[in-house]
Amino acid sequence: MALDYRKCAQEIVDHIGGRENIAQAAHCATRLRLVIKDNSKVQKDYLENVDGVKGMFESNGQLQLIIGTGTVNKVYDEFLAITGMTEATKDDVKAAAAAKQPLWRRLLKPIGDVFVPILPAIVASGLMMGLVEALGKAVSSFSGTDWYAFLDMISNTAFAFLPVIVAISAARVFGGNIFLGAVIGLAMVHTNLLNGWNVGNKEAINAFFHVTDGVIPQWHLFGPILPIRLTGYQGHVIPVIIAVFLMCKIEKWLHKHVPEMLDLFVVPLVTVLSTTLLTFTIIGPIFSTLETWVLSGAEILVGNVFGAAAMGALYPWTVIMGLHHMYNVIEAGMLGSVGLNTWMPIASAANFAQFGACLAVGLKAKNNKTKVVAVPSALSAALGITEPAIFGVNLRFFKPFICAMVGGIAGSFYGALTKIGATAYGVTGIPGYLTIKQPLQYTILLAISGGIAFILTWTLWKEPETGMKKAAQKAKEEEKTDEAAYERGNVVITSSAGDINKPINGKVISYTEIPDETFASGALGEGVGIIPEGETIFAPFDGVISSVAETNHAVGITGPNDQELLIHVGVDTVMMDGDGFTTMVKEGDEVKTGQPLLVFDDEKIKAAGHPDVVVVLLTNSDDYTDFQYGERLK
């Protein structure tokens, strides 16, 4: 029995809280995708039983109803008619869903996206650094050897040049040129600048700048305002992400507004110059001011037990800001004045709490991807290097981070109460035993902070719903099998030479609307563009493959009546040099209607910054007088 589209759409509208409760609606090959204002008004149980709805799940802030190929568009049309809404693209829906997430989540997301790909580099360094530093402290003769010097250099490479790695990853996430991103990162740790780790070290400053007053020199590019302090950003993360984010915005804006001919002269130059100016004159001073505040604040706080407890909570935030490298100054000061480093127990409590929280995530997570990241990150944190655990795991899920703060508070409080301290500085966590004066109390401190963080995380943190994920994944796979979803029969071009079927599902636009001058001008022939909902191109008629681009992003087919059709995936995708494209045919192959010709990776095209519109042009359209284009049901 045929489905009553109108009834199906009406029932859906009635049980999601009516028109007022819908922010946006779109559909893909199989699903109706809705952004709902108030989820509590959605009657999920009822919806699943609506005739025509095969399943439903929530994902990325969208309510998705699986309706099926060939039906979903008809239900969608009725849906629009009932609600009086206008058609939204999938991207609109995604954007609306993203905007619906709370602000802190939207701010945290890019940090996670930037950090996850670079974790291997910093986990390796973190573990090695922890071990090498511990060995150096444990066996004092070892710290003088060439082996120590070598291992020390290798292990701190990823941290010393962290801004470069972060910048490259961030450029990728924000859609800029990764090499320009690398330049920004490199500028921030340029060898002409004082190593950021030495900011509080007067001797190092004197030696580096050949001065005697221990003051870091400044550049005055704009007279008295906005001086640049000659300091690098070693170990920093947030200023780098902000800088690269700015860079990508500037770069994209310039690409849009600079004539193509001048693009290569103007865009990279202006992008790098304006980004570095903004970074060094504005972002830099904000962070160096913060550094000073944090430093003097920390010195006041550690004076009493409650202050110390507060510091235990604030400590990981200063790691996020990259300000924790300054604390050596406080520790050295303590050793100089009273001979006991009471800062170290606070840092240890905070760091070991990150270990506890991260370990809990690692043990509790069922998702293997999370597990393999969390366990080694936890180990690194136990050795005192917490960046992998914080950025890669705890901060990303956020709740573990809060749990670790609580653990840090308790541990620091205990440490200050018992007045324990270390005789040196530089190590925390397990290696901290090498310098601590009261190993027993130190053990209790670690147990308190790590234990509380672990237990809290274990009980409070829930892995993002796997059930939903499965449903989402299943639906995605369903969408992947484009072949099943491919709507054979819809025609996009007609002429006396024969009909040309739609080679891929998606919204059909006129060639004049294709975002590319050459295609839109008709210089290559007339036809259509298709905003793809799928990643496979199917032969639109029986014919012979007359050309396959060497970069696999375009094919030409000649039909029995000499129709010469060009199918070109995306705009400017020749630049991708074949990455993300695979063709299943070669020149001279005979193909039948509906045979798959080419698959492409839509995400890669978007990531490379190109429009993904599939261009379908009859290159010899002017040979036909009765040529017509536009989607039409056969």
Partner 1 sequence: MKEFKYTITDPVGIHARPAGLLVKEVKKFASRIQIVSKDGKAADGKKLLALMGLGIRQGDEVTVTVEGDDEADAAAAIEKFLKENL
- Decide if 254 contacts 266 (C-beta within 8 A): yes
Q: Contact with partner 1 (CB under 8 A): which of 181, 196, 525, 540?
A: 525
* Closest approach of partner 1 to the CB of residue 252, in Å: 22
Residue 157 sits in the site that holds partner 1 (CB under 8 A): no
Burial of residue 258 (number of CB atoms within 10 Å: 0-12, 13-18, 19+): middle
Residue 554 sits in the site that holds partner 1 (CB under 8 A): yes
Residue 496 sits in the site that holds partner 1 (CB under 8 A): no
Alpha helices in 383-462 (DSSP H): 387-389, 395-397, 399-418, 439-460
210 is catalytic: no
Identity at 45, one-letter amino acid code = D
* Closest approach of partner 1 to the CB of residue 357, in Å: 51
* Range in contact with partner 1 (rule: CB under 8 A) among 187-195, 249-257, 546-554, 597-605: 546-554
Question: Distance between CA atoms of 279 and 273, rounded to whole angstroms?
Answer: 10
* Closest approach of partner 1 to the CB of residue 594, in Å: 21
Residue 263 sits in the site that holds partner 1 (CB under 8 A): no
* Closest approach of partner 1 to the CB of residue 614, in Å: 13
Question: Distance between CA atoms of 581 and 569, rounded to whole angstroms?
Answer: 9
Question: Of 27, 325, 568, 610, which is the active-site residue?
Answer: 568
Q: Contact with partner 1 (CB under 8 A): which of 568, 583, 612, 624?
A: 568
Residue 566 sits in the site that holds partner 1 (CB under 8 A): yes
Nearer Cβ to partner 1, position 34 or 549?
A: 549
Cross-strand bridge partners of residue 235: none
570-629: contacts with partner 1 (CB under 8 A): 574-575, 587, 619-620
Size of interface with partner 1, in residues (CB under 8 A): 22
Nearer Cβ to partner 1, position 438 or 558?
A: 558
* Range in contact with partner 1 (rule: CB under 8 A) among 272-280, 305-313, 363-371, 552-560: 552-560
What are the backbone angles phi and psi of residue 135, rounded to the nearest 5°?
-60, -40
* Range in contact with partner 1 (rule: CB under 8 A) among 87-95, 105-113, 197-205, 543-551: 543-551
325 is catalytic: no
Cα 318 to Cα 294, 311, 326, 343: the distances in Å are 8, 10, 10, 14
* Range in contact with partner 1 (rule: CB under 8 A) among 48-56, 189-197, 366-374, 518-526: 518-526
Identity at 270, one-letter amino acid code = V
Residue 523 sits in the site that holds partner 1 (CB under 8 A): yes
Cα 62 to Cα 89, 109, 467, 508: the distances in Å are 13, 17, 16, 24
Q: Which of 577, 573, 571 is nearest to 615 (CA)?
A: 571
* Closest approach of partner 1 to the CB of residue 574, in Å: 5
* Closest approach of partner 1 to the CB of residue 619, in Å: 4
- Decide if 105 contacts 61 (C-beta within 8 A): no
Nearer Cβ to partner 1, position 428 or 573?
A: 573
Nearer Cβ to partner 1, position 68 or 522?
A: 522
Question: Distance between CA atoms of 587 and 593, rounded to whole angstroms?
Answer: 17
* Range in contact with partner 1 (rule: CB under 8 A) among 5-13, 441-449, 521-529, 606-614: 521-529
* Closest approach of partner 1 to the CB of residue 550, in Å: 5
Alpha helices in 174-237 (DSSP H): 178-188, 202-209
Residue 550 sits in the site that holds partner 1 (CB under 8 A): yes
Residue 288 sits in the site that holds partner 1 (CB under 8 A): no
Residue 540 sits in the site that holds partner 1 (CB under 8 A): no
Q: How far is CA 233 from the centre of its chain?
A: 22
Question: Distance between CA atoms of 396 and 108, rounded to whole angstroms?
Answer: 7
Residue 546 sits in the site that holds partner 1 (CB under 8 A): yes
* Range in contact with partner 1 (rule: CB under 8 A) among 162-170, 218-226, 275-283, 522-530: 522-530
* Closest approach of partner 1 to the CB of residue 517, in Å: 9
38-67: contacts with partner 1 (CB under 8 A): none
* Closest approach of partner 1 to the CB of residue 523, in Å: 5
Question: Distance between CA atoms of 376 and 123, rounded to whole angstroms?
Answer: 7
Residue 75 sits in the site that holds partner 1 (CB under 8 A): no
CA geometry: angle at 413 spanning 410 and 414, to 5°?
90
Burial of residue 54 (number of CB atoms within 10 Å: 0-12, 13-18, 19+): middle
Query: Which residues have CB under 8 Å from 390's CB, separation 6+?
Result: 316, 319, 320, 354, 381, 401
Cα 23 to Cα 19, 27, 401: the distances in Å are 9, 14, 32
Please give the structure tokens belonging to residue 317. Answer: 């935030």
Question: Of 8, 28, 358, 403, which is the active-site residue?
Answer: 28
Annotated catalytic sites, by residue?
A: 28, 568
The contact set with partner 1 (CB under 8 A) reads 518, 523-525, 546-550, 554, 556-558, 564-566, 568, 574-575, 587, 619-620
